[in-house]
Amino acid sequence: MVFLISLSILVVGISTAPIMFDESAYVGAARNFIEGTPSTQPTHPPLAKCLIALSIKTFGDYSFGWRFPSALAGALLALSVFGLTFRLTGNLHTSYVAWVLMVANGFWFVMSRVAMLSIFELAFEAAGVWAFVVAVQQKEKNLRWLACSGALFGLSIGCRWCGIVGLAVCVAYALLHYRPFVKGVAVMIGAAISVYVVSWVPLLAREHRTIRYLLTANTFIYQFQRHAEGDPRLGQMWWSWIFRLQPQPALADLVGNPVVGVLGLAAVVVLLWQKKPLLPALYIAHVLQWAIGLRPLTYYYYYFEAFTWLTVALAVALQGVEIRRVRVDVVTAACAAAVFVHSYFL
């Protein structure tokens, strides 16, 4: 139900907007894949662009064909948030609150309706974290779940290298809190690397490349990300845009939900105080990648991953909190939904 309703929300009117943002680059790369010609967009791994190409081949070369895979990934992200929250809390009510907050957080609705890479990377990352938490809770006979988690992280990294952040957090969490997981961590990392390599096979076959091209292409991606410079008129330093909530000139429809943003930061502090570090670590790590990472200039939508984990943290931190028998999480979700509706539809 969560998956289907989320998908329905995303596909309504998805083909009405003209090509926007960086869609032209990724749609162009998808067309290259269909034609079997060298990619015009080699600065990211190919998996998400291959998925867009498959959709174009299935539905046609127009906006619905470009964007439908993003909607599927957005629905998967919503489902993973729901399932992960239930695993962390064991509470179905809190899981629905997390889902509503996710739908209303601003980023999810926009990034799931454009043919860009972030939604694919984060959808697989969230599913990987979900599988990892299942493995942690089982403790015994968990190698299959850890392998599944690693495979999902491999798919995430195969869409965009930012998926490495989620994998690194889960590996660190396992090693610090569950020392017997050393073997399982090796399985998870091995699965991630294997799936990442396999994710390149369609491109290698389509462009008639040898396996040596895998090293060449990844070296190029690293060097590009290390030396690339953004447009200073649209980008901001990481510390200047974390709390910006107004629409951005580069992504005019994209705005963070202030209810989620402000209360989510408090939720991170609460979870750390309660010694529940996984969600705060995912949030902090995704912020730090831009604070200390290779690229000095960032764009507002780069905060998508961090804001998503902030959303889940808020739902988990509000579990069971009442003020005079009023459920605070219900009030928070209602306020966030009202802000979302006002921002996008009124």
The chain-wide mean pLDDT, for the chain, equals: 89
Q: DSSP characters for 4-72?
A: HHHHHHHHTTTTSSPS-TTHHHHHHHHHHHHHTPPPS-TTS-SHHHHHHHHHHHHH-SSHHHHHHHHHH
Least confident of 13-22, 239-248, 293-302: 239-248
Using CA of residue 165, residue 170, residue 175, residue 176, what is the dihedral sign?
positive
> Regarding predicted confidence, which is higher, 20 or 65?
65
CA distances from 144 to 23, 149, 182, 205 (A): 36, 9, 14, 30
- pLDDT higher at 19 or 52: 52
Dig out the tokens for 146 from the structure: 């850890």
pLDDT at 237: 67
Segment 248-269 shows an average pLDDT of: 79
pLDDT of residue 243: 61
CB atoms within 10 A of CB 273: 10
Backbone torsions φ then ψ of 251, nearest 5 degrees: -130, 80
Each residue's pLDDT tens digit, 162-210: 999 999 999 999 888 776 678 888 999 999 999 999 999 999 999 889 9
Q: Is the pLDDT of residue 44 over 90?
A: yes
For position 230, what pLDDT does the model report?
A: 64
Query: Would the pLDDT of 251 be above 60?
Result: no
Both structure tokens of 255: 């705005």
Whole-model pTM?
Answer: 0.93
- List 327's β-bridge partners, or say none: 322
Percent of the chain with pLDDT over 70: 88
Pick the closest to residue 6 from 88, 89, 119, 118 (CA basis).
Answer: 119
